[in-house]
Amino acid sequence: MDKTLHEVLDSVRPPDPHKKVYKDECMYSFDSPDSETGLYICMKECYGFGKKFVEEYSRKSGNRVFLHLQRRHKIVVKSEEPVKKKPTKLAIDVEGGFDSNETKYTVEEHKSVVVLPEWKVLALSDEQMPPLVVVAVDDILALESATKGAELAAMSNTWEGDVLKPSKHALSLKQLDNGVKVPPSGWQCRYPGCNLTTNLWLNLTDGAILCGRRYHDGSGGNNHAVEYFYQTKYPLAVKLGTITPEGADVYSYDEDDMVLDPLLSQHLAHFGIDIMSLKKTEKTMLELEIDANSKIGEWDVIQESGQELTPLYGPGYTGMRNLGNSCYLNSCVQVLFNIPDFINKYPTQAQHYFSQTELSAAAHSFNFQMAKLGQGLLSGDYSKESDPNSEYAVHNGISPNLFKLVVGQGHHEFSSKKQQDVHEYLLHLFMHIERNSRGKENPLDSLRFKVEERRQCTESKCVSYTDVSDNYILSLPVPMEHAQNTEEVAKYEKLQQELSDQGKHITKPSEIVRPIISLKSCLNAFRAAEMIDDFYSSAAKRKVTVSKCSSIKTFPPYLLLHMRKFTISENWTPKKLDVSLVVPDVLDLTSFKGQGRQTGEDEFPPDDRPDAAATPEVVLDEGVISQLMDMGFGMESCKRAVFHTKNTGAESAMNWIMEHMGDADFADPFVPPGAAASAKSLTPFVADENGLQLLMAMGFSSEQAVRALRATDNNPERATDWIFSHGDDSPSEEMETEETTPTSSQCRDTSGKYRLKAFISHMGTSTDVGHYVCHINKDGRWVIYNDEKVAESKNPPKDLAYVYLYESMD
């Protein structure tokens, strides 16, 4: 036995099955087994460290034995590369999805035991290795990593395309003995006058062949198959042309979803179809969806495909690895860490957060993970140019595993691997920043602004002005009616329809015609007056109609603009507006500044009604709430939407939901503003005993548990998330926050003249699918950040963006 190792066996402790093993990345940096110097895992506490941090940890903790993991990526010669497979799943960097990395490697793994401070390296194959060390090494390698374990716990399943379930009708399906036999070819929709020969579906009950649904772009079928279901209630249909020995596309109209039919071969044989003899001749529904989200003209233009882009390296030019549809996260944080306030708050103070946070809490500390992320992006340590003469690749880019887990914890969408909406994610991220910046430096002050709302009575002409604070993003409508090229768009849409009828599509990006709408038109639409009915006028002494318009009260140093490109189509499905925006590099918003009450304007007199101070009872339309819940939204969210849209119907409530899904209180129990507030404040809080015991059993103190249950209305699950997200709060600070009026946030004011700094673009037909990239004006040039790829931009597609960031010229 090695004498050095024998002396430090007290630094070795095999992990029990529930131990968290941090073997994916360093606790303080983004060094990993793939980094040049690998990762060192403490064989007693199972924390991972890069070489830069491991010595200090060893000195402070006294733990001296580490498992060293290193993977080297040997570049595969081009001729050895396998044939590139076509994507089969609507996901990125997962098996069957889109591959973001074109260069292929073979991986060489190296493992050893290292003893500090001597840096003595011992091979795992050493026959003299102590059994205790052998067991510890085997257990560390066998256990799920902490990040993978947390990811699995946070989500029920990863999104790699929908997981199909067997239809409830499959085993009991009754097939009519009507003598129908389906020929192997020559199919046609049997609906009178239709005669479509593509996108055909065979009903598995009676053998009827009918065309499928019409898609949002006018292609597809004429809805005859679904109309037939409404008439007959025959539930299952199979798409002709997709049948192979491996299966086929089967749709259940009753379950309204793609399904599996375990008896498909038997059901097809009823109509004379031998499943073993058929070959696929039509695209599956998944392939069609992938094609729709890889459409020419948008993906190519936004990613600047076909351009010879020059890669950039060094501090501030670090890419981020895609963790499986995490491009929305990557684009957001790349943009935010180009704002000085965010840099000063997090990476500049990284050592403070590192020294003040126990390693046991680091994985759950928002400020710790933000500082670590910012430092990783700006250090340049993970953005180095490869040596062209080396056969090994440099492992560039960072993987924000722990950051994603911290921000997404407790949120069923942001903890998943589904694609997300950038606007909603930014609001969710800002909620975390607010929570963790109370009474401290807050980087959101650089984005925060006030909106001035002006209301005028149409009868008395009296006015009221209200300032709405704590806005971070100016959300702008996209007025399609103000398109500058309506005639050209009409001709293009007619051509599209003609080609679709012939089974053809436009294939050249240069032939695409999008509605052209100026940013100024969007700003004018934001400022335009809207009429509000049933507003009580203290001047007219009754309910009247008032006009309401909004202006920008303060101009922040950095202004985020969100373009409302996603809306609801006529059939209640999310729809993306494919438009070209005229966006100036220099933006003057001085004419949009709120000026307050003007000379000659009369304010509304005080409301002298006896019950003016009381909050009227709000009766919500239960029918609309039920409709919204049927679409999959929670009851409390639906109540909130119906309340804020004043019972005006499901459509307006749905639009409100689409715009406010990212609000911090979106799913919280709904209480009408002012209702029962005084009664609640007078009721002493009593912590739920079961919830209290559960939280204390998880290792939280009684004081922490009570505070968390008070803040979450005795909900133990939300209380756990609350504790993790408020880890930096002291009890005294929290009690003060609960019992006193919080200090108002700061809104800085500038001249209102801006220069375009960055923009985030989305490719795809809806927020549920597609891909995000961002462009940032940095060091006098435009730079494209496409996950881990960072390069100088040749033609930044400013007109196709979804979110813009403007920087004050002051």
Report whether 120 contacts 4 (CB < 8 A). yes
What 3-state class would DSSP assign to 492?
helix
Helix (H) or strand (E) holding 551: strand 542-552
Report whether 450 contacts 467 (CB < 8 A). yes
Beta strands in 610-657 (DSSP E): none
Active site residues: 327, 771
Report whether 468 contacts 451 (CB < 8 A). yes
Which letter does DSSP use for residue 339 in this model? S
- Packing angle of the helix pair 366-379, 401-408 (nearest 10 deg): 150
Helix (H) or strand (E) holding 731: helix 731-739
**CA atoms in the 13 A half-sphere facing the CB of 185:** 5
| Neighbour order of strands in the sheet with 236-239 | 209-211, 200-203, 236-239, 250-252, 257-259
Whole-angstrom distance, CA of residue 512 vs CA of residue 493: 10
Dihedral Cα 371, 403, 691, 679, nearest 10 deg:
70
Q: Which two tokens stand for residue 507?
A: 């294939």
Which letter does DSSP use for residue 542 in this model? E
**By C-alpha distance, which of 745, 698, 690, 740 is closest to 723?**
698
Beta strands in 610-736 (DSSP E): none
Name the residue type at position 322. Answer: N
Whole-angstrom distance, CA of residue 580 vs CA of residue 590: 25
Whole-angstrom distance, CA of residue 685 vs CA of residue 675: 18
Report whether 146 contacts 27 (CB < 8 A). no
Which letter does DSSP use for residue 277 in this model? G
Q: Which two tokens stand for residue 211?
A: 């065309």
**By C-alpha distance, which of 268, 39, 101 is closest to 170?**
268
Report whether 787 contacts 322 (CB < 8 A). yes
Burial 499-524 (b: 16+ CB within 10 A, else e): ebeeeeebeeeeebbbbbbbbebbbe
Whole-angstrom distance, CA of residue 20 vs CA of residue 135: 16
Whole-angstrom distance, CA of residue 466 vs CA of residue 575: 33
Give me the DSSP letters along 595-610: --SPTT--BPPP---T
Report whether 370 contacts 10 (CB < 8 A). no
Terminal alpha carbon distance of the chain = 69
What 3-state class would DSSP assign to 255?
coil
